[in-house]
Amino acid sequence: MNKQGFTLAEMLITVGLIGVIAALTLPGVIKNNQNKVLVSTLQSVVQSVEQALTNMVTMQNADSLFETTPWVNGRINTSSSTSNKDHFVAELGKYFVITSADTTANAAKNYYGSIKVYGLDNDGSKKVTDVIGQFNDCIILYTKSGAVIFIRAFDKGDSFATGGGDNISESVAFSRQTSLTSNPADIFIDVNGKSKPNTVGRDLFHFYIGPDGILYPYGGKAVGAYEGHQGASWNGGYADYQCTDTVKGNNGWGCTARLIDEGYQMKY
């Protein structure tokens, strides 16, 4: 009588195959789950910031952020006067929960210390160029969620905010379906602070804050139209600095737009 069953050798081979498959697939599963957490946190932070800014405009009976109390002193970055920076943080803190702030010079470099923050290369698989210098003159706002916000605010007449006075016209804004005609602030959001991966497009994202208090993702249609004076164009689904499966222009900052355009899904 023959007995049905597996031999020890067969079982060991099966277990070994399962282990190989798990070793091949587990890193991808872990990365996908990590990406979902990072994206979910970003979405929550964006909603909180937009709600705070739009509420501020409404409650102060202002026509735009430029007319609200945080912006009355003009351009704000780490080189601004201490009183202006403190005023900006205090006034903004009336509408948005800020646990603390850093308004010192080289704030971003001081925050990350020896930790490097990387951009993406063309295929998105490697970490390249330390990009901290691109937002080092921002002031830092710390939040309860653990997300860290780097912000650089502009005066209504500041050339950084208006492109040297070359705002897009209403007709261009309408044709490109955007209301972004000037730029009260740049905002960079690191959703998990110093924790890895510390990489643009993964846990670090760039937005322009519009006069209406809405966050416009860098690399998107609105910012592409706004930056028309710099030669940016709406091209191939994304603006001048594209984020495609094969191209990560400008170290991947444009991936912020792709992420949001695709419903907060990190497909790149």
Query: What per-residue confidence (pLDDT) applies to 125?
Result: 54
The pLDDT of 164-184, averaged and rounded, is 59
Judged against a pLDDT cut of 60, whether residue 236 lies above it is answered with: no
- Averaged pLDDT of the chain: 81
User: How many CA within 13 A on the CB side of residue 157?
Assistant: 2
Q: Which of 5-19, 108-122, 163-177 has the lowest mean pLDDT?
A: 163-177
Q: Residues 18-49, buried b or exposed e (16+ Cβ, 10 A)?
A: eeeeeeeeeeeeeeeebbeebbebbeebbebb
Higher pLDDT, 227 or 48: 48
Structure tokens at 50: 């937009």
Count CB-CB contacts under 10 A for residue 161. Answer: 23
Contact 227, 163 (CB under 8 A): yes
Sketch the domain layout of the chain as residue ranges. Answer: 35-261
Judged against a pLDDT cut of 60, whether residue 76 lies above it is answered with: yes
Q: Give residue-wise pLDDT tens across range 181-235.
A: 778 999 999 999 999 999 999 999 999 998 889 999 987 777 766 665 444 444 4
How far is residue 266's CA from residue 100's CA, in Å, rounded to a whole number? 30
